[in-house]
Structure formats: C-alpha cells, structure tokens
Amino acid sequence: MKVVIVGGVAGGATAAARIRRLDEQAEIVVFERSGYISYANCGLPYYIGDVISDPEALTLQTPESFFSRFRVSMKVHHEVTAIHPDQKTVSVKNLETGESFEESYDKLLLSPGARPVRPRIPGTELDQVFTLRTVEDTFRIKEYIDRHRPKSAVLAGGGFIGLELAENLRELGMEVTIVQRPRQLMNPFDPDMAAFIHSEMRRHGVRLVLGHTVEGFAEKEAGVDVLLKDAPPLHADLVVLAIGVAPDTALAKEAGLALGIKDSITVNDRMETSVPDIYAVGDAVQVRHIVTGGDALISLAGPANKQGRIAADNICGGDSRYTGSQGSSVIKVFGLTSAVTGINETNAKKAGLDVDKVILSPMSHAGYYPGGKLMTMKVVFEKGTYRLLGAQIVGYEGVDKRIDVLATAIRMGMKATELKELDLAYAPPYSSAKDPVNMAGFMIDNIQKGVLRQWFTEDLDRLSRDGSAVLLDVRTTEEYDGGHIEGFRNIPVDELRERLDEVEHGKPVYVICQSGLRSYIACRILTGYGYEAYNFAGGFRFYDALTHDRCLIESATACGMNNI
C-alpha cells in the first residue's frame, strides 16, 4: 500500500507515524510546501518574545529524524499542485528546483491546514505588514524586529495569536495596540467574561481599539499607518494581521471534493471525503460540534492530532470514528489564564437553545492556605434538561484543571446538576473540599430545586426603580461606600434578620453582594420570612468589571479612541 500525505504538522505527521506503527510495509510519502514537517505552531509567538530562545526547539521532528525512526519519506519544499482522483495521482512541484512530477497513491490524506486571512485592502504587501502562521513567518518577524528594533506594533485581530503575540511584544518593550472589529477580544468567550481579559491586557499597557474595522495600510515615516473606518489612523513600526484563518482547500475544490462551510472539506466520522480513498484532517475539515450537533470549523491542535490518528487507523483497515469537537482551549494572558469549552451563552442562544447559567468566584484552593487566588467561572446549561453546554473560566492557578473536568463532563453527556457528584482530589494547596466544579453543581442543583432564583446584569435596566421592587446590597458598609449600584439600599447580611422591618413585604427583593455568596445567604433568610428573593449572579465584583469595561469601550469610541 502506498500512502501520500499532503501537509505535515499536527494532522499529517501524526497520521504518517500512526500508519507506520500499524503497517511496517506501507510506502508513505509526505509532501510539505514549507521547510518544516512538524513544528510547535502554538509556540511561535513565544519565540518572537524570546521566551523560547532556541529556534530548533520549535521543530518537533526533522525530515531526517522522521525517516530514521519511521522510514517515512518527508519531502519538504514540495507543493502538491493538483489531485487527479481518476488516475489516483497528484501533481507535485519541487519548490527548490522548479521540477514538476506526478506521484501515484493508493490512499491519499489531505492535511493542508488553514491559511491566514489576508483581507483585500490596500497595503497588505508592505514590508512592515506580516502574518503569523508558519515557522518561516516567525523567523521573518523575528528577523525584522532584531534588525529594525521597532518601538510600536499594531495587531489586527484579537484571537489566540493576537493575544499571545501582544504579550510577547510587550515583553520586548514595544507599545502594542490591538484592533478588533467585534467589541471584544476572544470570541469563544462571552462579553462579560472577556471583560476580565480586557482588564489584564490594559493593566499591562496593551491598547485596545475594539469595534473598529481596518480598511488598509499606508507606508509613512518609516512605519505604517493603519487606516480605520470612521476613526483616525493608527501609526506603528510593525503590523501583524491576525484576523483569523480560512481552510486552505483550493486543491480539494479543484479536484471536485465536496466542501462545506467556508469551503472546508466535508468528511464523515471516518475522516473520509466524498471521493473514495481520499481522507482529510485538521484545520481544513468541517467537523460536528458535539454540543450543538451542527457543522463547525475548529482550528485546534488537539482535534487535528486525533483526526490524523483516526484517518491512519482507517487507511490501515481499521474502523475508528471521530465523534466531534467541542473547542476546549486555554490561553495565557500575561499573569491570567483563560479557558473555555463547549459553547458560550451567546452562541447557545444563536443556536436556538433555551439557556441558563451560573457565575461564581471561587478560590483556586482552600482559603486558609496561603496564596489562593480568585477565579471567575461561568457554566452554561440548557433549561429544563440541565444539559451541560459550555464553560468559561478566567483566573490564575487551577483554571486549566477545572476546565478539563468540565470538558470531560460535557463529552460524557453529564447533566449540570451531576457536577455536584464528582469526586475530585482535595488538599489545601490544590483545592477546597468543595471544589469549584462541585460548587457550580451545587448552585445548579439549587436552581433545579427552586432553592436559588437568580437575576443578571441584563436584567438591571428592567428592574423597577419606582418602588415596585426592593433593591438590596448586603455587603458591609465599607464595601458599599466603596462603590455600589444606584438605587440599592445597604443592609449587611449579618444585620438582616434584625432589620427585616426595613424590607417591604409583598415586593420582590433583588439582592447583591461582592461575589454572590452572602447575597445567596440573604436570599435564604428572606425566603424563610416569606419574601420572594432573587440573587445576583456573579456579585458586584463581576458587575463592576463588566460595566467598567463597557464604559471604557464606549467612551473610547465616542472620543476618537483617546481614552482606551
């Protein structure tokens, strides 16, 4: 059996190694148009920032090491220019010599990945404008920085690459601005959770220009002007386009393979395309989202590796299945860790789901053990069924641990109420006896049983200010004096029983505290005395972070971005 693989890195290289482990006699040829067949794509921004100093550390395998171990012929600087399914051949061009030739196959695996989106706007060809996707891109940016010592950079795009690169350029001492058309960074997160990411970026000196569209670039004063729609231009010494990626599927399209959203390659759960004996994996393929059941594009290394393994199994006569993706990811944002799995509230509502949520601010470990830090968790679930839909966590220590637990729970089809049953490891330096994931489960269980009724930031404008409802802040007097929501009266929770005569009967009571715990206790006290009480999800800390972020974005837009 002869297997030809188009593209290396996560999917292609993984498949090649797996095929060899399953079939020692197979002839395996990999064509990779870049000079690298297996590299740490996610580590590229950290090489630019000198966190990773050895360029060889980015290269996981070389053609020589791969051949030595697996006897796989790795042809770098070779571009497949056409696929001929009827003849079961591919046309290949050697980019070093210019030679073109035909290569036959019994099985063909496509792993072309995705390409950076380069908008059709003026100036993208300027020497100061870069994209970051490959090792070669990384070296070009690094060489430019070392040679020209730029003092400022504008990053167009606020996704994973944009944030990681912003951090690393700031560590090099540059002034960094991120321009993003949406009014938030990191679209996998809801706007309320993204507010914490925005705060961390601003705290480290990154300027955020949110809700603005880049219309072009113009060379000026040895740098480049970033031209914005309905706003003054931004000047920088360096620009990186990080506005997203698109499936690199021109070959598949020309060969007549069935395509899906954004021209991605459609595959079945065996990673087979619409053409016999042709498989596809990685960022170029359309997958099923396990939460919504709909089609999705999810460009992450984990799914690509799994798909490569599955395709290899099936090429070798097995029957492995890819059940879908859920978008679990984590990112370091300076000192902050932000993680997400499943779908967020915004996308759940777009999908037509009837959703509910809990927001909590637990400590990373036992409060009495030194060094604990707050994290903010948002868990989204379906009303009625209590099916887990997604989770977002922003914090410091222990974020990755909790998101992985929640990702596993979603994958296994657990109900949100069942999170309370998980038997999770506890020791004071690592967690609390009631782990944050358990706490989310307790809260959702209380909702199901009618013990907890919530209200949210989006309800604030609808709350009656004419006396038809009681608005109650149960924090300490000092906390209240340090900042509160207009119209809320202050009765500390520990004084509430003695001051119930100040809370009118017959009116719903909307209660808030700093994190949501004391206000929950207050709600239970009020309920015990016959009141209809609602607890604010997330607490004043959450409300303050969100409203402060919105104020900065709106005021910056109103005053021409001078106050970002």
For the annotated catalytic residues, the residue numbers are: 42
- Residues 393 and 541: their CA atoms lie apart, in Å, by 15
Alpha-carbon separation of residue 429 from 362, 368, 396, 403, 437 (angstroms): 14, 10, 14, 18, 17
- Residues 69 and 316: their CA atoms lie apart, in Å, by 19
- Residues 319 and 316: their CA atoms lie apart, in Å, by 9
What do you get for the CA distance between the two ends of the chain, in Å? 60
Instruction: List, in sequence order, every residue forming a beta bridge with 259; answer none if it has no partner.
Output: 265
Identity of the residue numbered 335? G
Identity of the residue numbered 525? I
Q: Backbone phi, then psi, for 29, in 5-degree steps?
A: -125, 130
CB 4 within 8 A of CB 89: no
| Edge-to-edge order in the sheet of strand 509-512 | 454-455, 533-536, 509-512, 470-473, 489-490
DSSP 112-160: --EEE---S-TTTTSTTEEE-SSHHHHHHHHHHHHHH--SEEEEE--SH
Three-state SS string over 347-408 comes to: HHHHCCCCEEEEEECCECCCCCCCCCCECEEEEEEECCCCEEEEEEEEECCCHHHHHHHHHH
Give the distance from CA 306 to its chain's centroid.
19
3-class secondary-structure state, position 314: helix
Q: List Cβ neighbours of 31 (8 Å cut-off, separation of 6 or more).
A: 4, 5, 6, 7, 75, 78, 79, 80, 90, 92, 103
- Residues 223 and 455: their CA atoms lie apart, in Å, by 50
- Residues 134 and 150: their CA atoms lie apart, in Å, by 21
- Residues 359 and 435: their CA atoms lie apart, in Å, by 15
Q: To which residue do tokens 């594009």 refer?
A: 297
Burial environment of residue 68 by CB neighbours within 10 A (0 to 12, 13 to 18, 19 or more)? exposed
Measured from the Cβ of residue 95, the count of other Cβ atoms closer than 10 Å reads 14
